[in-house]
Structures are given as C-alpha cells and as structure tokens.
C-alpha cells in the first residue's frame, strides 16, 4: 500500500506546481500593454493613419513584435490578444465569427483608433479582417493580408482534412488537461533550462506524432526576440490557451463556410503577401484578391514560411507602410 503513495501524490503535486507557476509568471511577466474590457492591447508609436494588427488562429500580439517595433517608428501601431489567448481574459461567449468581428470592433472602440485605419491580418487573422472590413468598410482605409487563409482550404471539408482537424482538436483538449496538471509547464521549464531529452519524451508521450507540431511552433517562437520567449511560454502553460485553440479548430469549417461580401473590399487597396511555401492554388487566390481591389498589390516572399511577420518583418513592414501612405499621402515621417 505504502509503495503507491508517491504515485498518488503526483496529481496534487502537479496542480500545486501549476498554481505556483501561474502566480510566479503573473509577478515576473505582467502584461506589457493595457487591459481594455478584458482585452490585452499593446500600442506603440503615434501619428496616423493608425495600423491594427490581427494575429493568426492561436497566436497573440507577441507574433507581431518584430513588425510592430518597425511600424512604431512611423505611425501608431496596435496589436491585441483575442479573448482566451495571450494576456486577455477567457472568452465570455462562443468563438463564432460574428462574436470575433464584434470583439475586434470593441477593441477599435476601446482604443479610440482614428478612422479609417489600416488593418493587417495573418493567416486566420487575414480571413477575420476581411469579414470586419466587409461589415465596417467606412472604418478601414486598406487591408494587408499575410498568407491569409482562403475559405476553400477548409470548406467543403475533404476526409483527409476532417481527420486532420479532429486530431488537432483532440490534441488541443489533451494539452488543456496536461496544462491543468502542470505537465506542459514542466516540459517548457526544462526546455528553457537547456534540457532536451525529458521535454521531448513528455511531448511524445502526451501527443505522439502531434509533438512535431510543438517542435515547429517552438521553432517559430525562437525567431522572436529572446525577451519575448518567457511571456509566450507563460501563455502556453495555461489550460485556456489550449481550450481556446480547440474551439477555433473545431469551428474552422464554420468560419470558412460563412459568406464574405466581397464588393466593399474591392473598393479598398488590398495588399497580399504569400509565403514561398504556400500551394499554387492558394497563391492564385491571393493574387486575385489584390488584382480585384482598388490599388492593391501581391507579392510572393521568397525563402519565407507561413509566419511571414517572423521570416520577413522588413518586407511586411514595408507593405504596411505602402498601405499607410495610400491612406493619407504626405503623412510619412522622414
């Protein structure tokens, strides 16, 4: 009987490790921006037109760090964390497209962003900002889309992609459970301390082949300045980050099935950047968005992966500069 006591104590130890870690992270890594109505908003620079940056499906304002630093030298640049991600509060409503668009507008109102502004979105964020601009065309001066998600990629849903999404949802839910018991925190803490073998074993035991996704995400995070790493790590030790990602993945076909009113978007400049690794049919859709807009442009960024703002921040910033200058010629600082 006594030999089972150490094993019985593991769950309690894991919960304690997680609770103490959350308290430590809150003390050491407070939000760098403001909390407005539950949203973490990071603002930098001044002048106009302003730029609002929308992150990818499970990313936060941290993913815009390299680009936002460059933009802040010339204009006001605002990034934020959607509810359930980064420093923002847990979601208060289902993660439907209507709610996401409404919450984006809530951020616009809360920051008193001068209108019209330039709206930039990465990946899923590129889909979200198109819906926002179609609903509020008077508020948007131009769109910049970084390797944006195209609806036909996930709707209608072929069987291979249905299985892929189902696995992603299952792994995300498993991640939430493991985070709740301190396993994710232990693995990431050991990784930051320089240990490789044990974190890899934990990831494989928890996720199987899904651990490859973790490795790829870690590789992208390492492109950010080192001072950002502990903040991102602290977010991905939280169960709500995984739970939010699970809901996004589950709803992805629903997002892609939603009707997008393209007419208002054709009246705006739409600048699209495609990654060199993006499939040809998706790149062609990107090119059409730019071609059918008023004064838009399209460019394939050679040597880049999907995370363009990390692989090519100068090219991304320059494209956003172009949109800003279109929005109000003559405001650019020398």
In a domain, 295, yes or no: yes
| Residue 224 pLDDT greater than 60, yes or no | yes
Last residue of a domain, one of 206, 226, 253: 253
Instruction: State whether 276 and 146 are in the same domain.
Output: yes
Instruction: State whether 279 and 190 are in the same domain.
Output: no
Are the C-beta atoms of 63 and 309 separated by less than 8 Å?
A: yes
- Write the CATH number for 81: 3.40.50.1820
Instruction: State whether 125 and 265 are in the same domain.
Output: yes
Q: What is the pLDDT of residue 7?
A: 47
Kindly report, residue by residue over 77-113, the tens digit of the pLDDT: 999 999 999 999 999 899 999 999 999 999 999 999 9
Instruction: State whether 208 and 309 are in the same domain.
Output: no
Q: What residues contact residue 142 under an 8 Å CB cut-off, 6+ apart?
A: 118, 119, 268, 269, 270, 271, 323, 324, 326, 327
Kindly report, residue by residue over 212-222, the tens digit of the pLDDT: 445 555 666 67
In a domain, 17, yes or no: no
Distances from the Cα of 182 to the Cα of 179, 188, 202, 299, angstroms: 5, 10, 12, 43
In a domain, 3, yes or no: no
Task: Report the first-to-last Cα separation within the chain, whole angstroms.
Answer: 76
Provide the residue range defining the domain that includes 275.
Answer: 34-155+259-327
Q: If we measure between CA atoms, which residue out of 161, 172, 152 comes closest to residue 247?
A: 172
Instruction: State whether 127 and 167 are in the same domain.
Output: no
In a domain, 307, yes or no: yes
In a domain, 264, yes or no: yes
Q: How confident is the model at residue 8 (pLDDT cuts 50, 70, 90)?
A: low
Q: How far apart are CA 133 and CA 142, in angstroms?
A: 9
Last residue of a domain, one of 253, 272, 296: 253
Lowest-pLDDT range, 55-59, 180-184, 270-274?
Answer: 180-184
Last residue of a domain, one of 253, 288, 317: 253
Domains: count for the chain: 2
Q: What is the pLDDT of residue 194?
A: 62
Instruction: State whether 147 and 268 are in the same domain.
Output: yes
| Residue 150 pLDDT greater than 60, yes or no | yes
| Residue 316 pLDDT greater than 70, yes or no | yes
Are the C-beta atoms of 226 and 98 separated by less than 8 Å?
A: no
Q: What is the pLDDT of residue 220?
A: 61
Instruction: State whether 120 and 86 are in the same domain.
Output: yes
In a domain, 67, yes or no: yes
């Amino acid at each position: 009987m006594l030999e089972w006591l150490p094993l019985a104590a593991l769950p309690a130890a894991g919960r304690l490790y997680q609770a103490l870690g959350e308290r430590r992270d809150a003390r050491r890594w407070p939000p760098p921006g403001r909390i407005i109505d539950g949203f973490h908003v990071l603002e930098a620079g001044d002048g106009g037109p302003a730029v609002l940056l929308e992150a990818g499906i499970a990313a936060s304002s941290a993913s815009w760090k390299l680009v936002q630093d460059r933009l802040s030298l010339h204009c006001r640049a605002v990034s934020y964390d959607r509810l359930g991600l980064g420093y923002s509060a847990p979601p208060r409503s289902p993660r439907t497209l209507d709610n996401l668009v409404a919450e984006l507008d809530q951020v616009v109102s809360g920051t008193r962003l001068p209108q019209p502004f330039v709206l930039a979105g990465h990946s899923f964020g590129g889909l979200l900002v198109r819906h926002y601009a179609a609903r509020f065309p008077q508020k948007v001066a131009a769109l910049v889309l970084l390797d944006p998600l195209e609806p036909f990629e996930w709707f209608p849903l072929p069987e291979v992609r249905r299985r892929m999404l189902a696995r992603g949802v299952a792994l995300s839910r498993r991640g939430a459970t493991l985070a709740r018991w301190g396993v994710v925190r232990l693995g990431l803490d050991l990784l930051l301390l320089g240990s490789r073998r044990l974190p890899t074993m934990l990831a494989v035991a928890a996720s199987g082949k899904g651990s490859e996704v973790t490795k790829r995400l870690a590789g992208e995070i390492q492109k950010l300045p080192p001072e950002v790493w502990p903040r991102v790590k602290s977010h991905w030790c939280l169960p709500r980050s995984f739970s939010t990602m699970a809901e996004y993945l589950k709803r992805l076909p629903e997002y892609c099935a939603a009707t997008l009113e393209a007419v208002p978007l054709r009246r705006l400049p739409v600048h699209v950047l495609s990654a060199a690794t993006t499939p040809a049919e998706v790149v062609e859709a990107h090119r059409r968005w730019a071609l059918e807009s008023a004064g838009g442009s399209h460019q394939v960024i050679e040597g880049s992966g999907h995370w363009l703002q990390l692989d090519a921040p100068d090219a991304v910033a320059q494209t956003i500069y172009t949109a800003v200058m279109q929005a109000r010629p003559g405001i650019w600082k020398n």
